[in-house]
Chain A
Amino acid sequence: MTRERGDGGDPVGSSLVSTRAAQAHRHGGDVVCAVRGLTKTYPAVRGRRGVPATPEVRATDDVALDVRRGEIFGLLGPNGAGKSTVVRQMTGLMRPDSGSVEILGHDIVRHPERASRILAYLGQESSALDDLTVSLAAETTGRLRGLDARQARAERDDVLDELGLAALASRPLRKLSGGQRRLACFAAALVGQRPLLVLDEPTTGMDPVARRAVWSAVDRRRAEHGTTVLLVTHNVIEAETVLDRVAVLDRGRVIACDTPNGLKEQVAGEVRVELVWREAAPLHVPEVAALRDRAAESGRRWTLRLAPEEARTVVATVTGGAAFAALDDFTLATPSLEDVYLALGGAVRQGLVKA
Chain B
Amino acid sequence: MSVVPAGALPAGVLTAEEAAPARPAALGPRARLWPSLAAVYRAQLSRARVARIPLLFVATFQSVGIMILMRGVVDGGGAARAVVAGSSVLVVAFVALNLLAQYFGQLRASGGLDHYATLPVPPAAVVLGAAGAYASFTVPGTVVTAVVGCALFGLPLAHLWILVAVIPLAGAALAGLGAALGLLAPRPELATLLGQLGMSAALLLGVLPPERMPQAVRLARDLLPSTYGVEAFARTFAPHPDWAHVLGDLAVCGMVGVISLAVATRAYRRAAVR
Q: Which positions in A face B, CB cutoff 8 Å?
A: 24-25, 28-34, 36, 64-66, 68, 88, 91-95, 102-106, 112-121, 123-129, 131-133, 136-137, 139-141, 143-149, 172, 174, 192-195, 247, 254, 256-259, 262
Contact = CB atoms under 8 A, between A and B. Distances in A.
Contacts of A123: 111, 114-115, 118
A28 B6 contact: yes
Contacts of B22: 105
Contacts of B9: 29, 66, 68
Nearest to A114: B27
B28 A258 contact: no
Q: Which 10 A-B pairs have the closest CB atoms?
A: A29-B6, A105-B24, A146-B29, A127-B112, A104-B25, A128-B115, A143-B39, A30-B2, A131-B47, A128-B112
B54 interface: no
Contact of A140 (B6, B21, B43): B43
Interface of B: 1-2, 4-7, 9, 11-14, 16, 18-25, 27-32, 35-36, 39-40, 42-43, 46-47, 50-51, 106-107, 110-121, 125, 272-274
A116 B35 contact: no
A174 B113 CA distance: 17
Contact of A132 (B12, B43, B119): B43
Nearest to A142: B39
Contacts of A118: 25, 27-28
Contacts of A94: 273-274
Contact of A116 (B2, B12, B111, B117): B117
A180 to B, nearest CB: 17
23 contacts: A29-B6, A30-B6, A30-B21, A31-B19, A31-B20, A33-B20, A106-B24, A116-B120, A117-B30, A119-B118, A123-B118, A126-B112, A127-B112, A128-B114, A129-B115, A132-B43, A143-B36, A144-B31, A145-B120, A172-B50, A195-B25, A247-B13, A257-B13
Query: B interface, by DSSP: helix, strand, loop or mixed?
Result: loop
Contacts of A146: 28-32, 120
B22 to A, nearest CB: 7
B35 A258 contact: no
B253 to A, nearest CB: 29
B19 to A, nearest CB: 7
Contact of A192 (B14, B28, B47, B50): B28
Contacts of A254: 13
B121 A144 contact: yes
B118 A121 contact: yes
A83 to B, nearest CB: 15
B119 A145 contact: yes
Given A93-B117, A127-B106, A256-B12, A117 B47 contact: no
B20 A93 contact: no
B214 to A, nearest CB: 36
A140 B29 contact: no
B53 to A, nearest CB: 12
Contacts of B111: 123-125, 127
Contact of B25 (A64, A105, A147): A105
A259 B117 contact: no
B50 A194 contact: no
B268 to A, nearest CB: 13
A254 B12 CA distance: 10
A34 B35 CA distance: 34
Nearest to B47: A131
